[in-house]
Structure 1
Amino acid sequence: MTTILVTGGTGTLGRLVSERLRADGHEVRVLSRGARPHAVDLREGGPALDTALAGVETVVHCASSPRGGDERAADHLIAAARRAGVGHLLDISIVGVDRVPLTYYRSKLAVERRIEESGLGWTVLRATQFHDLVASALRGLARSPVLVLPAGVSDQPVEVAEVADRLAELAVAPPAGRVADMGGPQVRSLESLARAWLRATGRRRAVVNVPLPGGTYRAFRAGGHLTPERAVGKGTFEEYLTRRPELQR
């Protein structure tokens, strides 16, 4: 039995990773700002982080925030992991962090580099966006009578449970460096995803595709966030919508 700490272990992905590891008989410690007994804000670090890491063999780093602070959090985690003698630091990242000049993506790439240079045994898995995030974005856009989308952009959403399974598998394996990316089963236009979501939720909206300025839009339009050669996910967006009855309201 391995002692594994999951950062962000109460989040969408971290919760599932924790469940799978526990089901396989491992001792799992969940670390997040509100999780007891290991309530830690990684951006602040502190003695509670050292306590949480004592005796831990593997860390699965799922904690992240688009609002900033990921690099500082990684610095604190890496330093504490070194002090604790952690043997394996496993990080979940995003496909395209090295190709799309989005501020959050740049931060994720910086975290990857910190982990690679940490001196710890490490593994990094990049995945495409989760179905949940696509649905949440569309829900926000649909607050307007017209659903406006960036023209010419596609996505490749993946089922979060499948990413959790892959992380649980990697967590109990030796450090592997940068492993193959994990993408959803289909590269889909945003319009096709939006229309699938509208059908599933019974909403009626005009869908308008609008070109946008800037390098980030150009990178998304060029498919920098996609990995069609690694379309290893199984669950489709429509299957996700069918399994989520609350989305029908």
Structure 2
Amino acid sequence: MTTILVTGGTGTLGRLVTERLRADGNEVRVLSRHAQPYAVDLRKGGSGLDAAVAGVDTIVHCASSPGGGDEEAAAHLIAAARKAGVRHLVYISIVGVDRVPFGYYRSKLAVERLVEESGLGWTVLRATQFHDLLVRVFGIVSKPPVMLLPARVKDQPVEVAEVADRLAELAPGAPAGRVGDMGGPEVRTLDSLARAYLKATGRRRLVVSVPLWGKAYRGFRSGGHLTPGLAVGKVTFEEHLARLVGGGRDA
């Protein structure tokens, strides 16, 4: 039986990875800032982190924050993993972190490099944005009567459960380096995805595409965050919305 530590194990992705790994018979430890007995703030490290990684074969690093601190967290995790003799470190990253000059993407790319240079056996999987993220964003921007979206930007959302399945497949195996990217089944314009969201939630809003500026916007507009050749996901955005609304969840 493999002992696996999942960082961010109470989050949207980490929770599902934990469920999949346990269903496959692995012993899984969940690390987050509030999950006992491994309640650890990775940005601070410390003895709690050392205890969490002791005796662990593999770490699946799902913990991440757009607000910053990912590089410090990864450095602490890697140092503890080296000291504990961890065999395999699996990291979930984002498609386009090396092509779109967006602050959060730069941080994810920096963590990729830390993982690659860690001296540990490693695997990195990049995925496109989750359906859940689009739902959260559309929920916010649809509050006013006019729904403003960045013009000429497409997206390729993927189902988080499918990414969790892939991570649960990779974690017990041998370190594989950079594996193939994982994209959703469709490349869609943001306005078409927004209209699908409005239809599913029964909201009436005027959708307006607004040109923006800056290097990050140009990167997204040019499709640097897309991977149409690796559209391996199966669940479409409409199918995700149907499950969400049908399950009684507030979209």
Q: For the residues of structure 2 that align with 1:248 and 1:123, how far apart are their CA atoms?
A: 35
Question: Stretches of 4+ moved more than 3 A in 1?
Answer: 246-249
Task: Name 2:26's counterpart in structure 1.
Answer: 26
Q: For the residues of structure 1 that align with 2:143 and 2:206, how far apart are their CA atoms?
A: 12
Task: Tell me, yes or no, if structure 1 residue 147 matches structure 2 residue 141.
Answer: no
* One-letter amino acid matched to 1:95: V
Secondary structure of 2:56 counterpart: coil
Task: Tell me, yes or no, if structure 1 residue 172 matches structure 2 residue 164.
Answer: no
Task: Name 2:96's counterpart in structure 1.
Answer: 96
Superposed displacement of residue 144, structure 1:
1.3
Cα pair 1:93 1:112 within 8 Å, conserved: yes
Q: Deviations over 1:191-242 (max 9, x none)?
A: 1000000000000000001110111111000000000000000000000000
* One-letter amino acid matched to 1:228: P
Task: Name 1:8's counterpart in structure 2.
Answer: 8
Cα pair 1:200 1:248 within 8 Å, conserved: no
Q: Deviations over 1:118-169 (max 9, x none)?
A: 0000000000000000010011101111001111000000000000000000
Task: Name 1:233's counterpart in structure 2.
Answer: 233
Q: For the residues of structure 2 that align with 1:76 and 1:230, how far apart are their CA atoms?
A: 33
Superposed displacement of residue 3, structure 1:
0.1
Q: For the residues of structure 2 that align with 1:66 and 1:135, how far apart are their CA atoms?
A: 17
Secondary structure of 2:197 counterpart: helix
**How is 1:79-118 mapped onto 2 (pairs within 5 angstroms)?**
79-118=79-118
Q: For the residues of structure 1 that align with 2:238 and 2:36, how far apart are their CA atoms?
A: 36
**How is 1:127-138 mapped onto 2 (pairs within 5 angstroms)?**
127-138=127-138
Task: Name 1:121's counterpart in structure 2.
Answer: 121
Task: Name 2:186's counterpart in structure 1.
Answer: 186
Task: Name 1:195's counterpart in structure 2.
Answer: 195
Cα pair 1:241 1:247 within 8 Å, conserved: no
Secondary structure of 1:125 counterpart: strand
Superposed displacement of residue 175, structure 1:
0.1
Superposed displacement of residue 88, structure 1:
0.2
Cα pair 1:6 1:28 within 8 Å, conserved: yes
Secondary structure of 1:14 counterpart: helix
* One-letter amino acid matched to 1:5: L
TM score, norm. by length of structure 1: 0.99
Superposed displacement of residue 60, structure 1:
0.1
* One-letter amino acid matched to 2:111: V
Task: Tell me, yes or no, if structure 1 residue 163 matches structure 2 residue 166.
Answer: no
Superposed displacement of residue 43, structure 1:
0.2
Q: Deviations over 1:44-90 (max 9, x none)?
A: 00000000111000000000000000000000000000000000000
Q: For the residues of structure 1 that align with 2:194 and 2:77, how far apart are their CA atoms?
A: 38
Secondary structure of 1:74 counterpart: helix
Q: Deviations over 1:78-115 (max 9, x none)?
A: 00000000000000000000011110000000000000
Q: For the residues of structure 1 that align with 2:203 and 2:181, how far apart are their CA atoms?
A: 34
Superposed displacement of residue 172, structure 1:
1.0
Task: Name 1:68's counterpart in structure 2.
Answer: 68
Task: Name 1:206's counterpart in structure 2.
Answer: 206
Task: Tell me, yes or no, if structure 1 residue 58 matches structure 2 residue 58.
Answer: yes
Task: Name 1:217's counterpart in structure 2.
Answer: 217
